[in-house]
Amino acid sequence: MRDITADDLEALATGAWILGTGGGGNPYMGLLNMRELYRDGRRCRLMAPDELDDGDAVAVVSAMGAPLVGRERLKDPRPIVRSVEIMQAATGVRFRALMSLEVGGGNAFQPFLAAALMDLPVVDADCMGRAFPEGQMTSFAVGGLSNAPMAMADIRDNEVVFLRAESWTRMERMARRVCVEWGSTAATCLAPRTGREVKDWGIPGTTTRAIALGRAVAAARAAHTDPVAAIVEAEGGRRLFVAKVRDVARRTTEGFLRGTATLEGLDADRGRTMTIDFQNEFAVAWADGEAVAMTPDLICVIDSVDGEAVGTEMLRYGQRVSVVVLPAPPVFLSPDGLALVGPRAFGHDLDFRSAFEASADAGD
Amino acid sequence: MRDITADDLEALATGAWILGTGGGGNPYMGLLNMRELYRDGRRCRLMAPDELDDGDAVAVVSAMGAPLVGRERLKDPRPIVRSVEIMQAATGVRFRALMSLEVGGGNAFQPFLAAALMDLPVVDADCMGRAFPEGQMTSFAVGGLSNAPMAMADIRDNEVVFLRAESWTRMERMARRVCVEWGSTAATCLAPRTGREVKDWGIPGTTTRAIALGRAVAAARAAHTDPVAAIVEAEGGRRLFVAKVRDVARRTTEGFLRGTATLEGLDADRGRTMTIDFQNEFAVAWADGEAVAMTPDLICVIDSVDGEAVGTEMLRYGQRVSVVVLPAPPVFLSPDGLALVGPRAFGHDLDFRSAFEASADAGD
């Protein structure tokens, strides 16, 4: 168990936004809220999964919705607390700790927002290791754990508990429909997890990893060295493309932000074109028509100058960006994992091929 | 308290289908189920609202969905029981009795389906006095009663409790979204009502009224007299138009069946045209371009030969029908009532004008 400092939160915002692979919502709103809560004297603690007893109950929290909507509405920590309270009332469970559904993007902050008000620690783990657009795209679903119940609240006094769902996907779709009805933004508390389940199927250390990634970028900025190189170095990733954004087709539909970005190569990539399809998160990157990176590998679009991630909702003409690919959490590389989060789960008729295998092949 | 006979159920099917004003779902599936349950020795009882103690809890049940889907899927009494059980578990309330959201259409049978399995009486009242497409279109909403909680279940192990909603309309829309996700069919248990609330704001005697209406039609058939005249007589209604169905535009969308029927006048109405717009139920009838009947008055399309109601999902070219209008339940004629169920609530920019006023004017 360790204290999270105000400085950790700044680094978390940078690192989580990179791990969001374009989605998960910009962490800036969550960071602003946390700064305010810390100014008011609130403090958060981070605990390792191993510190949980097997029988402890852990609340997995998340903001659901379309990233573009998340930019337009200030976050309020109360709905996320409310979703946890609803879950406790519905199940009789008393939570020992909070954890994030996804470390990528603004959802890295959701457990801290609740923790600051509820005086519970945050578990240093998540169940995506990045961001994914849909609630069934989790390591817990890969592990076949229960999908229910799920609690949901918004700022306008709407509250729902999904008690049972025939499948993880049905749970996601039911909740998504209600989320859309609420304006494509909702606070959710997902199926309660035991300490044992978090230890067996959670992706450990992801908050610490995001903070470290944020610090690496900050150090590069301070030293006037290449922040994109720092990201690649910190995460064992690859720089895929250096480019200018030429076009973005984007629409908010069915509670998601979907579209395609077209990038025009610069420097060594001059004359080449990359297109990246996204559903909240970047899903598949094509270089001159060939799929060169795909989910669950992390496709990250980074501002070439300052190393800040660029979200799918903020991409715009003329931005100078570097496309970086980071390795997928291993749990998603099994057949069960790829069925949930591989390219076909995003509507692309492709067999998953790791960008890191491709790199090895290129050296043949 | 009186026993409901198998014969009552047959009459209820005919009468409720007429009061459905085209919607509420064909009662035939519910009737088939009830015949089966009665063959198995189950029995139901009907109690007057006045027999309730003020503090009794009453479960208001309903099948939600699009009528066309209701035709395609056999009813199963278990989800409606399940929705009541979920409500009891979520609230700790023990129900004294069941009642119907709407007496019109198949929902007249929903409390009986649950009652046959749960050994609870059915209250002789509803909160629509007919059928309406949306959950906020109730006498309870006119009375400003609470809109939550609401429980919902389906045949595939999906279960939801809507704990709080900012408004009746939001509750309807949230539930409708989930209903659509389930294939536009769901069993619902609405906000629990006290005996006092049912006595103050329920529409009393509607099951008895539907049974009497069904008996009047059966008597006319047996006597080879005009069943449409029997309906008009029993309900104090008016025959508006005698016609052949010329065209039906119909689509299942957003969990509703919407469209327009075009009728070609026969006999005294030869040379005239009537169009009727519907959203599950018939909403506004136009004769040669003039609005001659509108919600909340009951616009009923009746088979001219056998007096059977024709649902919006079953209208088809060539049917010989009589359009009948019956007076709206008085609770809906207040400004609050008309705001909820008048023509503007169905997207028609019309001030409500009763077909019965129009009739008086015509005599000037």
Give the residue ranges of DSSP H helices in A136-295: 139-142, 168-181, 195-201, 206-223, 227-235
Determine whether the interchain pair B174/A178 forms a contact, defined as Cβ–Cβ distance below 8 Å.
yes
Determine whether the interchain pair B170/A160 forms a contact, defined as Cβ–Cβ distance below 8 Å.
no
Question: Do A125 and A198 contact (CB within 8 A), yes or no?
Answer: yes
Average confidence (pLDDT) over B347-361: 82
- The ipTM assigned to this model is 0.84
* Percentage of residues in chain A having pLDDT higher than 70: 95
pLDDT score for B185: 87
Determine whether the interchain pair B181/A158 forms a contact, defined as Cβ–Cβ distance below 8 Å.
no
Mutate to test the interface with B, among A147, A155, A174 (most CBs of B within 10 A): A174
CA A340-A50-A210 angle, to 5 degrees, is 60
Cα separations in angstroms, B83 against A143, A164, B64: 30, 12, 12
Phi-psi category of A183—alpha, beta or left, where left has phi over 0 and alpha has psi -120 to 50? left
Residue located via tokens 């605990």: A47
The CB-side HSE value for A190 (13 A sphere, CA atoms) comes to: 30
For chain A, give percent helix, strand, coil, nearest 5.
Answer: 40, 30, 35
Determine whether the interchain pair A177/B181 forms a contact, defined as Cβ–Cβ distance below 8 Å.
yes
Q: Which residue of A has its CA nearest to B171?
A: A158
Cα separations in angstroms, A154 against A63, A64, A280, A318, B178: 10, 10, 20, 36, 17
Looking at beta carbons, which residues of chain A come within 8 Å of B178? 174, 177-178
CA pair distance B168, B161, nearest whole angstrom: 15
Torsion of CA A130, A135, A141, A146, to 10 degrees: 140
Looking at beta carbons, which residues of chain B come within 8 Å of A170? 156, 158, 181
**Does B105 score more than 80 pLDDT?**
yes
CA pair distance A271, A288, nearest whole angstrom: 10
Nearest to A311 by CA among A18, A12, A69, A14: A18
CA distance, residue B184 to nearest chain A CA (Å): 12
The β-bridge partners of A225 are: none
What stretch(es) of chain A map to CATH 3.40.1610.10? 2-206
End-to-end distance of chain B based on CA atoms, in angstroms? 46
**Does B362 score more than 60 pLDDT?**
no
User: Low-confidence residues of chain A, pLDDT below 50?
Assistant: 360-364
- CB pairs A-B closer than 8 Å: 63
Q: Which residue of A has its CA nearest to B83?
A: A163
Question: Residue A49: CB partners within 8 Å, gap ≥ 6?
Answer: A123, A124, A125, A195, A198, A199, A202, A204
pLDDT score for A363: 38
pLDDT score for B12: 98
CA distance, residue A307 to nearest chain B CA (Å): 41
Work out the pLDDT band at B282, boundaries 50, 70, 90: very high
Determine whether the interchain pair B157/A178 forms a contact, defined as Cβ–Cβ distance below 8 Å.
no
CA pair distance A203, A128, nearest whole angstrom: 7
**pLDDT tens per residue, range B9-66:** 999 999 999 999 999 888 998 999 999 999 999 999 999 999 999 999 999 999 987 6
- Cis, peptide link before residue B79, omega less than 30° from 0: no
Rg (chain A; Cα; Å): 19
The closest CB to that of A160, out of B157, B163, B166, belongs to B163
**Does B360 score more than 80 pLDDT?**
no
Q: Which residue of A has its CA nearest to B156?
A: A166
* Percentage of residues in chain B having pLDDT higher than 70: 95
pLDDT score for A257: 83
Question: Do B78 and B110 contact (CB within 8 A), yes or no?
Answer: no
What stretch(es) of chain A map to CATH 2.40.390.10? 226-362
Determine whether the interchain pair A160/B166 forms a contact, defined as Cβ–Cβ distance below 8 Å.
no
What letter does residue B42 receive in the DSSP assignment?
-
The architecture that CATH gives domain A226-362 is: Beta Barrel (2.40)
Nearest to B281 by CA among B302, B303, B298, B267: B298
Question: Do A126 and A136 contact (CB within 8 A), yes or no?
Answer: no
pLDDT score for B67: 64
CATH 3.40.1610.10 fits A2-206, yes or no: yes
Give the residue ranges of DSSP H helices in B95-205: 110-118, 139-142, 168-181, 195-201
CA pair distance A100, A92, nearest whole angstrom: 21
Q: Of all helices (H) and strands (E), which one includes residue B332?
A: none
Q: Which residue of B has its CA nearest to A90?
A: B90
